[in-house]
Amino acid sequence: MPSADAHSVISAVARVVADAHPLPDVVSRLALSLHPAVPFDRMHLLRLDRADTVTLLTARPSGEVDSAVHKLAEAAALAQSRDTASGHPLDPNANSVMMCPLRHGPRVLGALWFTADAPGRFNQTHHALLEDLCDLVAMAVLYEALRSTDALRRDRLDSLERLLQTVAGVLDIRGAFAEISAVLREALPHDVLALTAWAGDARSFRVHALAGADVDEMWWAPIMLNEADQSLLNRSAYIVRDVSSEIPAGTIRGRMFRAVGAQSVLRVALPLDNNVFGSLFFLARDADHFDDEDLDFARRAASYIALALSHQKLAEKAREVDEKQERNSLLEAEVTRLRRDQDARGDRRVLGSSPRWKDVLAQAVRVAPTDTTVLLTGESGTGKEVAARFVHHASRRAGGPFVAINCAALPEQLLESELFGHERGAFTGAVAAKPGRIEQANGGVLFLDEIGEMAIGVQAKLLRVLEEREFMRLGGTRTLRADIRVIAATNRDLMAAISKGTFREDLYYRLSVFQIHLPPLRERPEDISELAVAFVKELGQTVAKPPAGISVEAREQLLAYRWPGNVRELRNAIERAVILADGAVIQPEHLPFASARPAAADAVAAMTLPAAGLDLEEVERALVMKALAQARHNKARAARLLGLTRSQLYSRIEKYGLQERES
């Protein structure tokens, strides 16, 4: 277990990584945080880039950072050893080197190493600290990669939007082709953009438009295709990484590519009216310029250009895209506003950014402006009341009351009285008239939690409220109006209850006009860390020593657990951990399920060994395969099932040659 000093260093590094700054800033802050514990002269972080290059960030103890880009071949020596006594390919002055690879699962992201001019500078304590830090630093590199990927995605979406604007009013694509090339070049760099059109008989083609090069007149006339070239017409996409070695000079493609000086090519088909009009070629004058990640963008660009060939369809597509983007933007803005409003009002916070949870909120925003009855379904603890309040605050009734009643908590007569109210003398003990929850909710929302537990007699009266918006108090003679919106919630299967006769079918259809299903927490694991961190912050204010954070191991435990009690159980688990941590970082042992796994000895005791004996390596291989299958190929979970570290699991996967399809 790391020392207290090591814990403080790891905590500091965790905070640096969690802040998600740009990678050079992260490296600078890491150097400042680590130098008191690691006596380095230079700290290096190498990141594998998208192409055949690596980025090397070198930091000094002062936090000053230098950045350089190297060819991958230059950095190949990094994989040869983890520690050496003299020199380094990228730091010749080093006489002490300490290094570890940065991984995300089986994927290698780069490497982190420390160098010092004096020999023997690093010891086993420093090595142990480095082992603990590598996963955290790998997360920073992964965050940077995700941020870059997201930036590229947004740049490409922006380019497609500008492309759409460029071609929207174009009747002849050739007149705007140079501008189209300029727009696409920002997202997918190229030297030449070419559009070819195929003849109807698929035996010839011609250059329809070209930007970035001049070609002979012969290319603008129809060109007959040989059999080899004709076989390429129906291929959806291909990449030529090196024209000189992959495309024979005597072929039509070979002559065409060489005519514009192209060394690498990306080609996608150009669809039009469910047929193929031709090809869109991105051409570059350097080799290995394009990769598979570019294909999707190229296809989308081709589809936009194809639409320009039919102005009417292009206009329709432009309107659809604009309207969809506007709707999504307005919807996201409304969700953000409502979250902010709820935080300000002190209501239960709407946390989570997973696609499943975002879909729940999007449905809530869509139904909120209406007075439609909403039925919320899902397991216990998934946040049905949180969703109900979210609908309420997004509705025109937001200024009215939100009145909740748990139908499972009260017997039939008491539930009826609580719901409808009663007059004086209506039953023994009714010494005064009392309005019910329906009256209290006037002008607002009545939230019926656990509606599936409501007695059948009360269901009939509730049905009248939903249909007629009228009711009477118990023992009363006056008909009262119910200006309410009803939101109901249940964790039961109401259709099964209908078949058993415990729930009215007509009430079900009145309640489920708009149904929203809240997914269990195990189906939206992306939200677990966000919820846990928020609960730590919230509950930390209630104890004398708030925890310093959540360790990587504890986060992995949280992600691996199935959460039968969902968000409610997660909050209870964090509350317990906050108390047990007593101001330190929350560790796996602070979590209530840390010791839930049966002892290995119990599992072994239940086994019967065959008389012929066992091959222990084969048993180990089978156990690794079983753990991977049980964990659905989540390596962290599989490692915990086996009682191994992730690095130990990776070594066994490699040892037994387990490919992804096997494991």
Q: Which letter does DSSP use for residue 141 in this model? A: H
- Answer with the residue of higher pLDDT: 313 or 417: 417
The percentage of the chain sitting over the pLDDT mark of 70, rounded to a whole number, equals 80
Backbone angles phi, psi at 223, to 5 degrees: -120, 125
Give yes or no: residues 175 and 301 share one domain: yes
301 domain residue, yes or no: yes
- Count other Cβ atoms within 10 Å, centred on residue 418: 20
Q: Which two tokens stand for residue 417?
A: 């009285």
Contact 110, 75 (CB under 8 A): no
Backbone angles phi, psi at 273, to 5 degrees: 55, 45
441 domain residue, yes or no: yes
Report how far residue 367's alpha carbon sits from residue 350's, in angstroms, rounded to the nearest whole number: 17
Q: Which two tokens stand for residue 255?
A: 């002559």
Backbone angles phi, psi at 227, to 5 degrees: -65, -40
The CATH number assigned to the domain holding 560 equals 1.10.8.60
Q: Which of 255, 282, 309 is the last residue of a domain?
A: 309
337 domain residue, yes or no: no
Give yes or no: residues 605 and 573 share one domain: no
Give yes or no: residues 609 and 622 share one domain: yes
Give the confidence band of 567 by pLDDT, cuts at 50, 70, 90: very high
pLDDT in tens, 129-183: 888 888 888 888 877 776 666 666 676 777 777 777 776 666 677 778 888 888 8
- Answer with the residue of higher pLDDT: 336 or 187: 187
Report the candidate in 497, 489, 517, 495 with the shortest Cα–Cα distance to residue 373: 489
DSSP per residue over 196-228, as a string? EEE-TTSSEEEEEEEES----GGGGS-EE--HH
160 domain residue, yes or no: no
Report how far residue 289's alpha carbon sits from residue 283's, in angstroms, rounded to the nearest whole number: 9
324 domain residue, yes or no: no
3-class state of residue 99 by DSSP? strand
Give yes or no: residues 134 and 48 share one domain: yes
pLDDT in tens, 628-642: 888 878 887 788 778
Report how far residue 113's alpha carbon sits from residue 87's, in angstroms, rounded to the nearest whole number: 13
In angstroms, the Cα distances linking 362 to 334, 336, 338 are 9, 11, 11
Say how many Å lie between the first and final Cα of the chain, rounded. 31
Checking DSSP bridges between strand 421-422 and strand 434-435, what pairing results, if any? antiparallel
595 domain residue, yes or no: no
Give yes or no: residues 297 and 213 share one domain: yes
Give yes or no: residues 383 and 495 share one domain: yes
Report how far residue 158's alpha carbon sits from residue 178's, in angstroms, rounded to the nearest whole number: 18
Contact 122, 96 (CB under 8 A): yes
pTM of the predicted structure, to 2 decimals: 0.44
Report how far residue 455's alpha carbon sits from residue 413's, in angstroms, rounded to the nearest whole number: 9
| Contacts (Cβ under 8 Å, ≥6 apart) of 8 | none
Give yes or no: residues 574 and 460 share one domain: no
Report how far residue 594's alpha carbon sits from residue 609's, in angstroms, rounded to the nearest whole number: 30
The CATH number assigned to the domain holding 610 equals 1.10.10
Q: Which two tokens stand for residue 484?
A: 């309410």
Domain count, the chain: 5
346 domain residue, yes or no: no
| Contacts (Cβ under 8 Å, ≥6 apart) of 285 | 191, 261, 262, 263
Give yes or no: residues 497 and 481 share one domain: yes
Give yes or no: residues 70 and 40 share one domain: yes
Contact 612, 623 (CB under 8 A): no
Q: Which of 248-252, 328-332, 586-590, 638-642 has the lowest mean pLDDT?
A: 328-332
DSSP per residue over 29-45, as a string? HHHHHHTTTS--SEEEE
Report how far residue 643's alpha carbon sits from residue 655's, in angstroms, rounded to the nearest whole number: 17
Q: At what angle do helices 616-630 and 635-642 cross, to 10 degrees?
A: 130
Average pLDDT over residues 230-239: 69
In angstroms, the Cα distances linking 445 to 369, 428, 438 are 13, 30, 9
Give the confidence band of 83 by pLDDT, cuts at 50, 70, 90: very low
Report the candidate in 118, 204, 187, 113 with the shortest Cα–Cα distance to residue 152: 187
Contact 386, 364 (CB under 8 A): no
Give yes or no: residues 142 and 216 share one domain: no
155 domain residue, yes or no: no
3-class state of residue 562 by DSSP? coil
Q: Which of 547, 570, 590 is the last residue of a domain?
A: 590
| Contacts (Cβ under 8 Å, ≥6 apart) of 124 | none
Contact 102, 109 (CB under 8 A): yes
Q: Which letter does DSSP use for residue 561 in this model? A: S
* pLDDT score, position 516: 95
Average pLDDT over residues 469-487: 88
The CATH number assigned to the domain holding 364 equals 3.40.50.300
List residues bridging with 59 in a β-sheet: 43, 65
- Count other Cβ atoms within 10 Å, centred on residue 323: 10
* pLDDT score, position 81: 42
Instruction: Using alpha carbons only, give the angle 352, 356, 361 rounded to the nearest 5 degrees.
Output: 65
Q: Which two tokens stand for residue 624?
A: 């690794």
In angstroms, the Cα distances linking 196 to 102, 161, 173, 199, 233 are 45, 23, 12, 10, 11
Give yes or no: residues 513 and 574 share one domain: no
pLDDT in tens, 415-468: 988 899 888 877 777 778 888 899 889 999 999 999 999 999 999 999 999 998
The CATH number assigned to the domain holding 62 equals 3.30.450.40
What value does the mean pLDDT of the chain take? 80
DSSP per residue over 445-486, as a string? EEEEETGGGS-HHHHHHHHHHHHHSEE--BT--S-EE---EE
458 lies in which domain range? Answer: 354-517
Q: Which of 590, 612, 635 is the last residue of a domain?
A: 590
530, pLDDT greater than 50:
yes
Give yes or no: residues 58 and 102 share one domain: yes
Backbone angles phi, psi at 242, to 5 degrees: -145, 100
Give the confidence band of 490 by pLDDT, cuts at 50, 70, 90: very high
